[in-house]
Amino acid sequence: MIYLQSFSFPTQDQEADFFVYNPKAKMTCYDSKYPFGLFRYRELPEFYFDDITLFYGNNGSGKSTILNVIAEKLELKRSAPYNRTDYFNDYVELCGYTLESDVPKNSEIITSDGVFERVLDIRRLNDGIDDRRDKIVKEYIAEVTNEEPNLLRGIDDYNRWKRASDMRNRNKSQSSFIRQNLMRNVQERSNGESALAYFVDCIKDDALYLLDEPENSLSATNQLQLKYFIEDCVRNHGCQFIISTHSPFLLSIERASVYDIDVVPPKTRKWTELESVRTYFEFFRDNEWKFD
């Protein structure tokens, strides 16, 4: 399903005119004019999008900026802040786009920062549960080894005595006591598994999704799982994806258009022609004899 058909960025002449005629451009109180000038040596073409469109380029090529500008222009929701300056909105206003159909309201940009924050949230919650578990273990040891209080001065003494008595009478083990008094960790997964689960949870039917380097934190196996998941979302669930990536696994997505941002001007290429993919290929070809 195609929602966003094309997107155009400011030309070099448009950027130059902005700084000549816009009074804001003459003010000296701004530290940065980003994203103005980012693509001055390789003017961006008008990008045309398929069901899946990939942006490839080395670090610093502007892939993330391209996605953030598109997301801002389309007013897509996002879960994490991004690098923007006082000139960002001015730059976005000079951009244009065409739609094949209306962009659904649940469309979203998902960045590596957003995924990382989700993983950290899970870790923080699990750390709190782990701290509580340690406290319960100490509480268990104290209550089964200490003598019962001779005097019950208040509700706290009674509750402690009741738990200790219950454990003795039922011969309750430490592990069963912990299970009864503590929820299990929210997600007993690695960071990579949590990141993959985040994409599966967030991506719904019939929407446009911009993914900024989604391979971060993912193992090769999980990158392949994400590739298959994205292909299925397009094939069976009415989604459109625009993705920036270095991953050879994601670059190999079936029937995707791949823009090479490193060449001047940027153009579509076969994924097997891309520099980083060729680097992987040549490395494993040179070491093929080691895989006996």
Structural domain for 269, as ranges:
4-114+189-291
**Tell me, what's the pLDDT at 118?**
62
Indicate the range of 110-114, 216-220, 238-242, 254-258 predicted with least confidence.
110-114
Residue-wise pLDDT tens digits, 86-115: 889 999 999 999 999 999 999 999 887 767
171 and 270 belong to one structural domain: no
Residue-wise pLDDT tens digits, 208-232: 999 999 998 888 998 999 999 999 9
Give the rounded distance of the alpha carbon of 162 from its chain centre: 48
At 4, is the secondary structure helix, strand, or coil?
strand
Structural domain ending residue among the three candidates 130, 154, 181 = 181
134 and 149 belong to one structural domain: yes
Measured CA to CA, the distance from residue 174 to residue 183 in angstroms comes to 15
204 and 217 belong to one structural domain: yes
202 and 96 belong to one structural domain: yes
Choice between 234 and 147, residue whose per-residue pLDDT is larger: 234
10 and 150 belong to one structural domain: no
Residue-wise pLDDT tens digits, 152-170: 455 555 566 566 656 555 5
**Tell me, what's the pLDDT at 65?**
92
234 and 99 belong to one structural domain: yes
159 and 284 belong to one structural domain: no
167 and 26 belong to one structural domain: no
92 and 10 belong to one structural domain: yes
At 68, is the secondary structure helix, strand, or coil?
helix
34 and 145 belong to one structural domain: no
Compute how many other C-beta atoms are within 10 angstroms of the C-beta atom of residue 275.
13
151 and 63 belong to one structural domain: no
Residue-wise pLDDT tens digits, 13-31: 999 898 888 887 766 666 6
Structural domains of the chain, count: 2
Contact 246, 220 (CB under 8 A): no
The residue among 262, 219, 265, 261 whose CA lies nearest residue 243 is 261
CATH number, domain with residue 81: 3.40.50
**Residue 91 CA: distances (Å) to CA of 5, 15, 25:** 20, 8, 12
